[in-house]
Amino acid sequence: MEVKLKVLTGKNTGKSISVPVKRFLIGRADDCHLRPKSDAISRNHCVILVSDDEAVVRDLNSRNGTLLNGEAVEGDHVLATGDVLKVGKIEFELAVKAKKKKKKKKEKKPQPVEVKADDGSMEFDVSEWLDEADVAARSARASDPETRQYKLDETDRIALDKSAENSEEDSSDKPVLKRPEKREPGKLPVAAPIDSDVTSQDAAADMLKKFFNSR
Domain assignment present for 75:
yes
For residue 34, give its domain range.
2-97
Q: In whole numbers, what is the pLDDT of the chain averaged over residues?
A: 73
Domain assignment present for 89:
yes
CATH, residue 43: 2.60.200.20
Whether 90 shows a pLDDT value over 60: the answer reads yes
pTM of the model: 0.48
Whether 125 shows a pLDDT value over 50: the answer reads no
Cross-strand bridge partners of residue 55:
50
Number of structural domains in the chain: 2
Domain assignment present for 155:
yes
Percent of the chain with pLDDT over 90: 41
Tell me the mean pLDDT in the region 205-215.
67
Domain assignment present for 105:
no
* 154 and 78 in a common domain: no
* 78 and 15 in a common domain: yes
